[in-house]
Amino acid sequence: MKKLINGVDNVVDEMLNGMIAAHPDYVARVPGTEVLVRTGAKKTDKVVLISGGGSGHEPAHGGFVGEGMLDAAVAGAVFTSPTPDQVYEAIKASECGKGALLIIKNYTGDVMNFEMAAEMAEDEDIEVAKVVVADDVAVENSTWTTGRRGIAGTIFVHKIAGAKAEQGAGLAEVKAVAEKVIANVRSMGMAIAPCTVPAVGKPSFELTEEEVEIGIGIHGEPGTHREKVSSANATVDQLLDKILAEGIYNDGDEVAVMVNGMGGTPLSELYIANLEVANVLAGKGIKIAKTIVGNYMTSLDMEGFSISLLKLDDELKALLEAPADTPAFTQK
Amino acid sequence: MKKLINGVDNVVDEMLNGMIAAHPDYVARVPGTEVLVRTGAKKTDKVVLISGGGSGHEPAHGGFVGEGMLDAAVAGAVFTSPTPDQVYEAIKASECGKGALLIIKNYTGDVMNFEMAAEMAEDEDIEVAKVVVADDVAVENSTWTTGRRGIAGTIFVHKIAGAKAEQGAGLAEVKAVAEKVIANVRSMGMAIAPCTVPAVGKPSFELTEEEVEIGIGIHGEPGTHREKVSSANATVDQLLDKILAEGIYNDGDEVAVMVNGMGGTPLSELYIANLEVANVLAGKGIKIAKTIVGNYMTSLDMEGFSISLLKLDDELKALLEAPADTPAFTQK
């Protein structure tokens, strides 16, 4: 294993501190925790948004802490759910009287630990609401999941619910718009090459020089099947077919698109994939209002990508276009 | 070779069109060329900035076309200089009477072809100035270079000269500030694993499971030496030592830092490297005013990174902090 690290036990700690060193005006670490919060005085007047999960998905989730998106992010060990006490620390460090929304990707450990943290907070009379993102259409249950997995579509929840909270909405309203995003976002991914968890030291699965894995999860969990490598367009078509089969995205609809890199795939290839996404959607009369291309919900050094579609209405579109200013996503 | 492409002959064309499909409000293609310009009506009142080079370095350079940075970017074939006529097309498509500054990375082919394009433009009475970026301290001459190579430090030239041009400065002033950046920026990179040029179909060099290459170029050109893989900190220290040996960055100075990914290295590892950069500079009394971490000047799917330091004065700092809004770099 060749990695740019200083030892498998320091990866998360040093990654968090390196992010803070890069963006001191954006993020700060809650002392003694793996929690990042916004730099500066605690807010006094907004619903706070908290997300997180295992590390290894950078910039998710610490990179999305900032104006118009998250208030706190909790980093577990690599590909490991954060503990309830860490999530509770994030709630305590950020919540300011209007309640906290926990944005959870659907993995059994994450759901359980965020729920336990919510109970701890409620015992302290902090109002907490939860949403669970399960946007991955590849498989119904998987290695660490009952139901569908939560993957890159989660970023749309951060962005849109974050904008709603920034506008001063109450906890029920912010939760409602997060649920609306979840109802309208679907994703699917694939891998060309596996990732290597530092503490494991070898790839999480093996693919031959001819093979790719379709429907892969963001921890290298198995997908729907392996197949011989084909063209970018045929790969995109296959992922989109399954997303479009959900029946959510139809002629005349307006959508947002995310072409998300898994960490080891160059931007040039993501743009090539995006061109086919745009062409397929145009052919179906589906209008693209916004496209995001890049590494947003990664899987360490895995090579591959995912496609996410979000159906927009006027509310979601306006919130998606609202300003945001975070280490990993800024728009005017 | 497993890549997310549709054929080695379509890579640049589809990548450019995919970028446009993702960012139609930012970039448009000059018909019949590999030139991206800003979307919308041609400017009428500014010095225009034009950069480019071989493809394979995405988001460089098309991703930096937009407010506060470039006006046009020219994309050659992968790792191949754009032809003079393509550069000339970029000048014609963007220049609006105040002159054009060509920002050239120091490779023999790039320098020659941009210079020929400048002569073509001057024949049409378009005022053209040129700067050549040669920030890579690794080697003095190399495969495709007389003198030092131009690498990630070029992004600082785009940003700072771009801000100067946006403020209405004349061509001589914009060129002068670009030269000031070039005089004060130094970079050095390394690779853990090679890149594969699509048309070649195999890695551009070979490293064993234990080896890394120090001082690598952004086309996989040989660096200073190969060595056994060590820690992130030891690697950073080695690159920084060579950069600091330039004598430019001293106790009390203020700098900007870029930790640039080569395309296949996860953000988590870049942040780990950044932590050591911050620690080393703090130990030397060098203050960091701004840090940029991510994939900005890549080398296809190469795994590795580079460090760039830019010494700031009040002018450079203000221009670096000025707003920018492009597909790959936005700040408020």
Tell me the per-residue pLDDT of B130-140, one tens digit each, with 9 for 90 and over. 999 999 999 88
Average pLDDT over residues A127-134: 98
pLDDT at B271: 98
Residue B61's closest chain A neighbor by CA?
A268
pLDDT bin (cut points 50, 70, 90) of residue B186 is very high
Q: List Cα–Cα distances, B114 to A141, B68, B100, B121, in angstroms.
A: 56, 22, 12, 10
The answer to whether residue A158 is catalytic is no
Residues 171-200 on B with a CB inside 8 Å of A are 192-193
pLDDT at B176: 98
Check CB contact of B314 with chain A, cutoff 8 Å: no
Query: What one-character DSSP code corresponds to residue B42?
Result: P
Check CB contact of A271 with chain B, cutoff 8 Å: yes
Domain boundaries, chain B: 8-184, 185-321
Q: Which of A72, A73, A69, A59 is nearest to A22 (CA)?
A: A59
Catalytically active residues of B, by annotation: 57, 219
- In chain B, beta strands by DSSP E: 27-29, 35-38, 48-55, 72-78, 100-105, 128-133, 185-193, 211-214, 225-228, 254-261, 287-294, 303-312, 324-325, 330-331
Q: What is the dihedral of CA A211, B206, B12, B64, to 10 degrees?
A: 110
Is residue B11 classed as helix, strand or coil in its secondary structure? helix
The answer to whether residue A57 is catalytic is yes
Q: What was the ipTM of the complex prediction?
A: 0.97
Chain B hits for A291, CB-CB cut-off 8 Å, are 21-23
Pairing of strands A254-261, B35-38: unpaired
Closest to B298 (Cβ–Cβ): which among A17, A210, A266? A266
Average pLDDT over residues B107-130: 98
Query: How many CB pairs lie under 8 A apart between chains A and B?
Result: 192
The domain made up of A185-321 has a fold known as: Hypothetical Protein Tm841; Chain: A;domain 3 (3.30.1180)
Relative orientation angle of helices B108-123 and B84-94, to the nearest 10 degrees: 50
Q: Which of B279, B15, B16, B324 is nearest to B164 (CA)?
A: B324
List the catalytic residue out of A23, A57, A61, A158: A57
Residues 219-258 on B with a CB inside 8 Å of A are 229, 231-233, 235, 257
Q: Is the pTM of this model over 0.90?
A: yes
pLDDT at A2: 92
Closest to B14 (Cβ–Cβ): which among A5, A264, A275? A275
Chain B hits for A210, CB-CB cut-off 8 Å, are 2
Model confidence at A143: pLDDT above 80: no
Q: Give the closest-approach CA distance of B172 to chain A in angstroms.
A: 31
Contact call for B298 and A259, based on CB within 8 A: no
Closest to B272 (Cβ–Cβ): which among A5, A257, A274? A5
Burial of B60 per CB tally in 10 Å (0-12, 13-18, 19+):
buried
pLDDT bin (cut points 50, 70, 90) of residue A119 is very high
Check CB contact of A76 with chain B, cutoff 8 Å: no
pLDDT at B1: 85
Contact call for A272 and B11, based on CB within 8 A: yes
pLDDT at B141: 78
Closest to B271 (Cβ–Cβ): which among A19, A231, A274? A19
Tell me the per-residue pLDDT of B147-156, one tens digit each, with 9 for 90 and over. 999 999 999 9
Average pLDDT over residues A261-271: 97
Chain B hits for A231, CB-CB cut-off 8 Å, are 5-7
Check CB contact of A275 with chain B, cutoff 8 Å: yes
pLDDT at B250: 98
Closest to A4 (Cβ–Cβ): which among B19, B265, B278? B265
Q: Which of B186, B167, B152 is nearest to B315 (CA)?
A: B167
Q: Give the closest-approach CA distance of B328 to chain A in angstroms.
A: 9
pLDDT at B177: 98
Model confidence at B117: pLDDT above 80: yes
Tell me the per-residue pLDDT of A305-328, one tens digit each, with 9 for 90 and over. 999 999 999 999 999 999 999 999
Q: Give the closest-approach CA distance of A133 to chain B in angstroms.
A: 23
Tell me the per-residue pLDDT of A151-195, one tens digit each, with 9 for 90 and over. 999 999 999 999 999 999 999 999 999 999 999 999 999 999 999
pLDDT bin (cut points 50, 70, 90) of residue A222 is confident
Q: Give the closest-approach CA distance of B176 to chain A in angstroms.
A: 29
Residue A6's closest chain B neighbor by CA?
B231
Token pair, residue B54, equals 């071989």
Q: Which CATH number fits domain B8-184: 3.40.50.10440, 3.40.50.1000, 3.30.360.10, 3.40.50.620?
A: 3.40.50.10440
Model confidence at B142: pLDDT above 80: no
pLDDT at A299: 97
Q: Tokens 């919510």 sit at which residue?
A: A118
Closest to B295 (Cβ–Cβ): which among A21, A267, A303? A267
> What is the average pLDDT value for chain B, to the nearest integer?
97
Chain A hits for B2, CB-CB cut-off 8 Å, are 192-193, 209-210, 212, 229, 303
Best mutation target among B230, B272, B331 (most A Cβ atoms within 10 Å) is B272
Best mutation target among B8, B255, B268, B307 (most A Cβ atoms within 10 Å) is B268
Best mutation target among A229, A257, A267, A305 (most B Cβ atoms within 10 Å) is A267
Q: Which residues have a Cβ under 8 Å from the Cβ of A126 and sit 6 or more positions away?
A: A91, A92, A95, A99, A100
Residues 46-65 on B with a CB inside 8 Å of A are 55-56, 58-59, 63
Chain B hits for A275, CB-CB cut-off 8 Å, are 14, 17-18, 21
Best mutation target among A4, A5, A214 (most B Cβ atoms within 10 Å) is A4
* Minimum mean pLDDT range among A60-69, A214-223, B3-12: A214-223
Contact call for A18 and B275, based on CB within 8 A: yes
Q: Give the closest-approach CA distance of B119 to chain A in angstroms.
A: 31
What element of type H or E holds A192? strand A185-193
pLDDT at A129: 98
Contact call for B22 and A56, based on CB within 8 A: no
pLDDT bin (cut points 50, 70, 90) of residue A141 is confident
CA distance B315 to B329: 20
Q: In this prediction, what percent of chain B has a pLDDT beyond 70?
A: 100
Q: What is the dihedral of CA B239, B241, B242, B243, to 10 degrees?
A: 80
